């Protein structure tokens, strides 16, 4: 596996990462990782690679956009000194354009999204010497012509391009869900097509672990 012994891994993102994690820092006792994919990843890493003594830390924050990740970068990334950094952001950058169309100051359009993401990845590579993982945002909707799905795909392409530019690990979270959607209706994975149940979170966890050469 690509993640080496003793690595501190920070998961940075929105509510999908947050999933009810402990405040102010998501680590320690009493289910600190929340109920999402970070918790699934933590359990599988600990059960499969106990000899590595890895240190996952959940720093997701519900409602975040890439703009808000930038705002808390110093306190939540620089100060915590990760060896690995996992970033999944973009759902709210897109969603606010659809559920709050009039509140334009909350919208993060593609140009800002790409510029800010590039900035964070560039800085993140200098801090997380072990590695950096970029995961696409997603919308659990098989109809690619659906306006929100089509927009989310554009942001996913920005993530793909950014990962390629910086030569970091890329995870196509949307593609992982698309595979499952051939068999399951979106309602079987997420009531709002965004916040997954345990099956949906496991889809995300599996895609991430495969990208770092986890041996199932």
Say whether 140 sits in a helix, a strand or coil: coil
Whether 64 is covered by a domain: the verdict is yes
pLDDT tens digit string along 168-201?
999 999 999 999 999 999 999 999 999 999 999 9
Of 174, 170, 171, which Cα lies nearest the Cα of 193? 174
What is the rounded CA–CA span in Å between residue 201 and residue 216? 17
Whether 60 is covered by a domain: the verdict is yes
pTM over 0.95: yes
For the segment 139-143, the average pLDDT, to the nearest whole number, is 98
Whether 1 is covered by a domain: the verdict is no
Select which of 31, 99, 192, 213 is catalytic: 192
Task: State yes or no: is 15 an active-site residue.
Answer: yes
Task: State yes or no: is 195 an active-site residue.
Answer: yes
Domain that holds residue 102: 8-211
pLDDT tens digit string along 37-74?
999 999 999 999 999 999 999 999 999 999 999 999 99
For the segment 116-143, the average pLDDT, to the nearest whole number, is 98
CATH of the domain at 121: 3.40.50.1110
> So what's the pLDDT on residue 216?
84
> So what's the pLDDT on residue 207?
98
Task: State yes or no: is 53 an active-site residue.
Answer: no
Whether 99 is covered by a domain: the verdict is yes
Whether 196 is covered by a domain: the verdict is yes
Whether 3 is covered by a domain: the verdict is no
Say whether 11 sits in a helix, a strand or coil: strand
Whether 216 is covered by a domain: the verdict is no
Total domain count, the chain:
1
Whether 166 is covered by a domain: the verdict is yes
Select which of 7, 14, 15, 18 is catalytic: 15
């Amino acid at each position: 596996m690509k993640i080496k012994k003793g690595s501190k891994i920070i998961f940075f993102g929105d509510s999908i990462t947050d999933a009810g994690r402990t405040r102010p820092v998501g680590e320690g006792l009493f289910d600190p990782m929340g109920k999402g994919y970070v918790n699934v990843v933590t359990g599988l890493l600990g059960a499969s690679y106990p000899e590595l003594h890895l240190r996952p830390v959940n720093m997701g924050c519900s409602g975040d956009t890439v703009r808000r990740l930038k705002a808390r970068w110093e306190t939540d990334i620089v100060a915590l000194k990760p060896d690995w950094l996992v970033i999944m952001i973009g759902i709210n950058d897109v969603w606010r354009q659809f559920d709050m169309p009039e509140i334009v100051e909350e919208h993060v359009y593609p140009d800002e999204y790409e510029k800010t993401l590039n900035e964070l990845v560039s800085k993140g590579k200098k801090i997380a010497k072990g590695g950096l993982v970029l995961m696409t945002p997603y919308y659990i909707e098989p109809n690619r012509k659906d306006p929100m799905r089509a927009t989310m795909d554009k942001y996913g392409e920005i993530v793909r391009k950014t990962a390629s530019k910086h030569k970091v690990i890329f995870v196509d979270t949307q593609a992982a869900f698309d595979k499952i959607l051939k068999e399951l209706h979106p309602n079987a994975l997420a009531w709002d097509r965004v916040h997954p149940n345990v099956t949906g979170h496991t889809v995300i966890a599996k895609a991430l672990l495969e990208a770092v050469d986890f041996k199932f």
